[in-house]
């Protein structure tokens, strides 16, 4: 067996980074699309419920999308853990781009913010998709024959502790993205310092925008800017 054989694509450090970059990019795409969908809560109950029903009625496409998203998350987490373990073992890595990587609090804590996000996403799916944290949401009265996602979100965020947890959650997601965005372009080969500086700035702006827009939903519920159709919480 030759020891000079090149490592296979997925086993090489660069290969892992590229898989992380591509899956990370696709996950950021989902986070933005999901945000735009959820912001329709500000338009009103009818709009949000119709949107949610349209997604639910997509049948096979919905399941294809869910499976793809799960695969992106699993690959991203798996490669992230492997890279973190490799970096921790502090063996010399012959990856020239590494020297360009800027060390920031966000970059040094990616594994921890990533792990916390996994916990929160699991809780979030249990909260709003499976409804097993709050089975009472299943008996919310239908509105125009549709499940009332609008009221479910308002009831969820009327509990200050839950609203605060979501604000922390979206803060972690934004903090993770603030480093991930420029890093992914760097991994994909963009190494010009001037361009990287701009991408870092754009990544930071994007992260702040994602944070403020997502956090505006629990904040608006707590501040009673968005209320149940009857006017209450
Ligand atoms: C204020 C913040 C958020 C609100 C109000 C919200 C709302 C929702 C709702 C209502 C659902 C259920 C959709 C359905 O089953 O029809 C859902 C599902 C989901 N959310 Fe969020 N979300 C928020 C933030 C996030 C963030 C930041 C992420 C990702 C990092 C995320 C990831 C997901 C995932 C993966 C699902 C499952 C999708 C599916 O069932 O196919 N959410 N969200």
pLDDT tens, 23-69? 999 999 999 999 999 999 999 999 999 999 999 999 999 999 999 99
129 alpha carbon – ligand 1 mean position (Å): 8
Out of 31, 34, 50, 113, give the residue to mutate to test ligand 1, the one with the largest number of ligand atoms within 8 Å of its CB: 34
Whether residue 1 lies inside any domain: the answer is no
Q: Is the CB of 52 under 6 A from ligand 1?
A: yes
Q: For position 94, what pLDDT does the model report?
A: 46
118 alpha carbon – ligand 1 mean position (Å): 13
- Count of domains for the chain: 1
| The two three-digit tokens of residue 201, written as one number | 């700035």
Whether residue 5 lies inside any domain: the answer is no
Q: What are phi and psi of 91, to 5 degrees?
A: -85, 150
pTM, two decimal places: 0.89
Whether residue 6 lies inside any domain: the answer is no
Among 113, 221, 85, smallest CA distance to 171 is for 113
- 15-29, 80-94, 150-164: which range is least confident on average? 80-94
Query: Which segments of 19-81 are extended strands (E)?
Result: none
Q: For position 178, what pLDDT does the model report?
A: 94
- Per the structure, the complete domain to which residue 216 belongs is given by 13-90+103-222
Tell me the pLDDT tens digit for each residue of 130-171: 998 888 898 999 999 999 999 999 999 999 999 999 999 999
Average pLDDT, the chain: 89
Cα distance between residue 206 and residue 172, in whole Å: 14
Whether residue 175 lies inside any domain: the answer is yes
Q: Is the CB of 217 under 6 A from ligand 1?
A: yes
């Amino acid at each position: 067996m030759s020891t000079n054989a090149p490592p296979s694509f997925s086993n090489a450090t660069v290969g892992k980074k590229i898989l992380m970059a591509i899956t990370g990019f696709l996950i950021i795409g989902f986070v933005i699309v999901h945000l735009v969908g959820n912001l329709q809560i500000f338009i009103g109950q009818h709009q949000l419920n119709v949107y949610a029903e349209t997604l639910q009625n997509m049948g096979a496409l919905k399941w294809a999308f869910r499976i793809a998203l799960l695969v992106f998350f699993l690959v991203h987490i798996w490669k992230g853990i492997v890279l973190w373990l490799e970096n921790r073992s502090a063996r010399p890595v012959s990856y020239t781009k590494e020297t360009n990587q800027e060390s920031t609090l966000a970059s040094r804590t990616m594994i921890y913010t990533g792990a916390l996000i996994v916990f929160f996403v699991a809780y979030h799916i249990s909260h709003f998709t499976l409804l097993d944290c709050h089975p009472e949401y299943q008996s919310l009265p239908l509105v125009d024959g549709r499940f009332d996602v609008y009221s479910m979100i308002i009831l969820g965020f009327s509990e200050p502790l839950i609203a605060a947890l979501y604000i922390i959650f979206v803060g972690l997601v934004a903090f993770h993205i603030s480093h991930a965005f420029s890093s992914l372009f760097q991994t994909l080969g963009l190494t010009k310092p001037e361009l990287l500086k701009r991408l870092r700035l754009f990544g930071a702006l994007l992260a702040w925008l994602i944070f403020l827009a997502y956090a505006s939903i629990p904040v608006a519920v707590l501040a009673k800017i968005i209320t149940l159709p009857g006017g209450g919480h």
